[in-house]
Structure 1
Amino acid sequence: MRRRNFLRVTVVGATAAAFGGASWREAFAATAQPGPSPYGELLAADANNVMLPAGFGSRVVARTGSRVAGTGYLWHPAPDGGACFADGSGWIYTSNSEVPLVGGCSAIRFDATGQITGAYRTLSGTNVNCAGGATPWQTWLSCEEVEWGRVFETDPFGANGATARSAMGRFKHEACAADPDHGFVYMTEDVSDGCFYRFAPATWGNLASGTLEVLCGANEATSGPVTWRRVPDPDGFPVVTRNQVSGAKRFNGGEGCYYAGGTCWFTTKGDNRVWAYNAATSTIDLAYDDSLVIGTPPLTGVDNVTGTAGGDLFVAEDGGDMEICIITRDGVVAPFLRVLGQGGSEITGPAFSPDGSRLYFSSQRGTTGNVLGGITYEITGPFRT
């Protein structure tokens, strides 16, 4: 008989402070459960076929193969992971392209009013760039989701060329998240027997060299202490990285990765889970598991994840109901938005503007169901802080 309660998330101290004093320990005394959204029910779809709560609106900012509004730049195919960066009084949204051989990523520049002022390519000639992560020093780590894939450090401002960061390991990379509090970059691996990694740069802010480690623990454990062991050969050849360390804990299809205030949240699509790694205590726990939901799970096909300064997580679906769901700081799971008429696609790249007032994301394959149908959206409204 499956457990439905008492899956603890030991997330306290710095995390609670970072999230406006909210106590995640109390919120996830049991794994997050369905409940009313703080934003209310979803209304009928708008002109862009996006269902949103009252007070919110959507805008299409880019379509694959079409020029980004006000620019001559053709938006890339299969938009995937993304992030926002402050740019003076405006901001930049960067987005990966999950296609073979040309891959890479692009960026859209916005002014303080949200007007698009530019769009450009920041990485080219790479392979199946899926997700990634932003660094505190304002670069974007674009990850190749292929065996022996690399991490590329890119400049979202378009001034500097991209650099492969091979010391971070060669494996089927998905997402990563920088932890400036402890000096690590965490990384997920998108295979059914994948691992969870961390990279410790020799010098924080310089990813050219450092130590790659893999999380170790019992495969059946969903909570408790874990350890880290060094990966002997980050090149992953002839023995792939995930098979080099005895005792490495396996995760079923690692996806999104997001760090805030002492906790790294990451998702696994094979079992529809959201995990929480507490960096201070070196423990893991479950924040969400659809098999432990009482009633119908509102969140399935878990994928990319991001969060707000107020302590809410926003989790995108690969399939499911084509939704972005919220997991509130009080442990409630509910739909925040739903895209209609795009059942052959997935939601990718959720990221908030620096002031938290706008949410960007993509439907990777749009209405066509193929990589040439990508649509990138902006959501505005009264996001809570």
Structure 2
Amino acid sequence: MERRSFLRGAVIGASAAAFGGTLWRGAALADPAQPGTGPYGPLGPSDANGIRLPEGFTSRVVARTGEQVGSTSYTWHRAPDGGACYADGSGWIYVSNSEVNPSGGASAIAFSATGAITGAYRILSSTRQNCAGGKTPWNTWLSCEEVSRGYVYETDPWGVQAAVRRPAMGRFKHEAAAADPVRKVIYLTEDVGNGCFYRFTPDTWGDLSSGTLEALRMGSGTSGPVTWGEVYDPDGSPTATRYQVSGAKQFSGGEGCYYADDTCWFTTKGDNRVWQYDAAAQTIELAYDDSLVPGGSAPLTGVDNVTGATSGDLFVAEDGGNMEICVITPDEVVAPFLRIMGQSGSEITGPAFSPDGSRLYLSSQRGTSGSSYGGITYEVTGPFRS
């Protein structure tokens, strides 16, 4: 397996190119998406894994909590959550958080060029309720603690370098992170009912040990220009970070976060919204809001983790709802892409595409048992559009 160090000057200098594999094409969404016929057609009947998929797609189980991963000796963690994929020579690595407290952390599965499992191992230990996170352009994984005054941990997907705590990125109830290599900032969501949307500007791009943390400010409403105010004490004590910036916009339970083509997309579970922040124009608007779907027929509820494909499609996972991943297309259509049956006590987490875009990884955090011991991690393969 190819090994990489945390901070390599050559990678940092080429970070925009390295991150460009999932850049969006075409114009950003202009209005909140509405239900319609998705690009992959209707869902078929349940397959052997209890997943309903469009024609041409198949699924397989790659890991189960408490069981050894493939033919390895590594036991998969409880409550799999946020995840990301990394190129590794001709193969790739999928990393996954563990949302338990204590002893959360994160693990990784290595795949060959054919998709065979070649290894599995721990990359982060002895942390608390690691929910989502984000991939950096220099190929580290930011694992975020979803606890009061939680930390961001920068981890090595190859499991070689020790994980590093990054307190400069703020101590709050972290959810997800997304890197913007153009403006050289990291966006961060906060999972509380009156949380903020943050950006962290490192003093040196590629080194997250120091920098400036800010919270987004805007007037009332859901669209318009924004500004940023500095969080004067990222440690969050005695005053929580979300109360330190006058006029900071409050968001109802920040969840997933994804960046591409000058846009950061993030979700809020308290109001079932997908937001889009135009980083070039410094404006914000809604990409999806279930309350704006006529007739109470919103296909996407319980919005949570989010990722994107090279086609410009967003894939949004549900925490509850119908246990679906829904696709939101650039032409403002939202439709189910898959549905997991018989697991209503769970949530879908960690959607991430393999480097070539042909495989989508995801987890059912609590599986059929409804317990953190019942987690299942899947791979979906098929004709994803590019």
* TM-score normalised over the length of structure 1: 0.94
The whole-number CA distance in structure 2 between the counterparts of 1:157 and 1:310 is: 28
Letter in 1 for 2:221: A
The CA deviation at 1:217 is 1.4
The CA deviation at 1:19 is 2.6
SS at 1:80 equivalent = strand
The whole-number CA distance in structure 2 between the counterparts of 1:115 and 1:370 is: 28
The whole-number CA distance in structure 2 between the counterparts of 1:230 and 1:18 is: 29
Partner of 1:364: 365
CA deviation profile, 1:260-304 (whole Å, cap 9, x unmatched)? 010000000000000000111111000000000123000000000
The percent identity for this pair of structures is: 70
Matches within 5 A, 1:1-385: 18-20=23-25, 22-24=26-28, 27-28=29-30, 30-218=31-219, 220-295=220-295, 296-385=297-386
The whole-number CA distance in structure 2 between the counterparts of 1:117 and 1:98 is: 25
The whole-number CA distance in structure 2 between the counterparts of 1:139 and 1:92 is: 12
Letter in 2 for 1:169: G
The whole-number CA distance in structure 1 between the counterparts of 2:280 and 2:70 is: 45
Letter in 1 for 2:231: V
CA deviation profile, 1:315-336 (whole Å, cap 9, x unmatched)? 0000000000000111100000
The whole-number CA distance in structure 2 between the counterparts of 1:110 and 1:195 is: 37
Q: Return 5+ residue gaps in structure 1 as ranges.
A: 1-14
SS at 1:197 equivalent = strand
CA deviation profile, 1:136-163 (whole Å, cap 9, x unmatched)? 0000000000010000000001110100
The CA deviation at 1:18 is 4.1
Letter in 1 for 2:176: A
Partner of 2:16: none
CA deviation profile, 1:322-354 (whole Å, cap 9, x unmatched)? 000000111100000000000000000000000
SS at 1:95 equivalent = strand
The whole-number CA distance in structure 1 between the counterparts of 2:350 and 2:69 is: 17
> Is the 2:218–2:224 Cα contact (8 Å) retained in structure 1?
no
The whole-number CA distance in structure 2 between the counterparts of 1:207 and 1:134 is: 13
Letter in 2 for 1:39: Y
The CA deviation at 1:165 is 0.3
Letter in 2 for 1:35: G
The CA deviation at 1:113 is 0.1
The whole-number CA distance in structure 1 between the counterparts of 2:378 and 2:332 is: 27
**For the structure 1 residues 114 and 100, does the alpha-carbon distance in structure 2 shift closer, same or farther, using more than 3 Å as the test?**
same
SS at 2:43 equivalent = coil
Letter in 2 for 1:165: R
Letter in 2 for 1:309: T
The whole-number CA distance in structure 2 between the counterparts of 1:66 and 1:365 is: 14
SS at 1:52 equivalent = strand
Partner of 1:12: none
Partner of 1:5: none
The CA deviation at 1:246 is 1.1
The whole-number CA distance in structure 2 between the counterparts of 1:304 and 1:49 is: 21
In angstroms, what is the RMSD of aligned CA positions?
1.1
The CA deviation at 1:310 is 1.2
Letter in 1 for 2:234: P
**How many pairs align?**
365
